[in-house]
Amino acid sequence: MSRKLTIIQAITEALDQKLADDPRVMLLGEDIGVNGGVFRATEGLLSKHGADRVVDTPLAESGIIGSAIGLSLNGMLPVAEIQFLGFIYPAFEQVVSHAARLRHRTRGQFTTPLVIRTPYGAGIRGPELHSESVETFFVHTPGLKVVVPATPYDAKGLLISAIEDPDPVLFLEPTRLYRAFKEEVPEEMYRVPIGKARIVEEGSDLSIFAWGSMLRTAQLAAKQITQEKGWSCEIIDLRSLYPLDRDAIIASVKKTGRALIVHEAHKTAGIGAEITSLINDEALIYLKAPVKRVTGYDVPVPFFTMEDSYMPTPARIRQGIIETVQF
């Protein structure tokens, strides 16, 4: 059986089912209990599972992640919520210096199976720090997995996989997509494997790599270009930024000979640069044009009315496709 759910509903269902399935799972974060979280992802879970499993914490991100690390080392499977990715900086030291390193530091004696859920990205007219897209900080950290669902189906399946993963996982939730659309989601528990990209649309003229909210924007641009010029774009949702599905990226570029990477994070040292380097290393002789990136700009995410000028739009992506195919 399946029903149509939004991403936020799919996340709530995954948390609810894992709380019921495994007594080691618990949630912690600011306002996640009585209020149900800033976006209501945990609404109703306190009354259903109790205050020992759904814990309201003080406004102290370092304490939330530090507590989650301690819980995971003592046999629990904590899911910590940070209200926005731009608020994670007070906990940065706990994430990169401790959660990500404990397996290596103890030579495999201890692991830290914890999930950090956090909304990220622009598109809802949030203030500056509410709209950050700084996934690169964490992809650059060995020992930490980073996943980004772009659909309700993936949100539920990837979150269940993340909770069951033996290592820490940063689970980035695109705020712009929380309630943007619905799709069929199975009622039962299922897993979407971490580290596996998804071919969203098959194509032969150009490969587009995107994730999070940029996936739907890229799909709009590809549809326009097909209608205008008849070009066929292969669109790949990376789903996991670390580990990256290198095989899927290389196989697609070998097929189409052209690549366009779309992300809303800053261009300099963004994930697009890493993917470009990977293609140059392993598929250079297959390229018919330089790899192109369409990204956010190297400035803080601007306020409200300027936000649309910062984000990659279908028009900017369309232009990127034309420049690459006609190179």
What CATH number belongs to 198-326? 3.40.50.920
Rounded to 10 degrees, the C-alpha dihedral 9/72/69/31 comes to 30
Catalytic residue among 130, 140, 263, 266: 130
- Domain coordinates in residue numbering, the chain: 2-186, 198-326
Q: Do domains 2-186 and 198-326 have the same CATH topology?
A: yes
- Max distance between CA atoms of the chain, in angstroms, equals 60
Name the H helices within the chain.
7-21, 45-49, 61-73, 92-94, 102-105, 135-139, 152-164, 214-229, 246-256, 271-283, 307-310, 314-325
Predicted confidence at residue 306, as pLDDT, reads 86
Residues of the chain with pLDDT under 70: none
Q: Which CATH architecture has domain 2-186?
A: 3-Layer(aba) Sandwich (3.40)
Whole-angstrom distance, CA of residue 281 vs CA of residue 285: 10
Q: From residue 140, give the alpha-carbon distance in Å to each of 135, 195, 262, 271, 310.
A: 9, 16, 19, 9, 24
| 195: its two tokens | 């580290």
90 upstream amide cis, omega within 30 of 0: no
Distance CA 166, CA 168 (A): 7
Q: Is 130 a catalytic residue?
A: yes
At residue 177, the pLDDT reads: 96
Predicted structure pTM score: 0.96
Cβ distance 173 to 120 under 8 Å?
A: yes
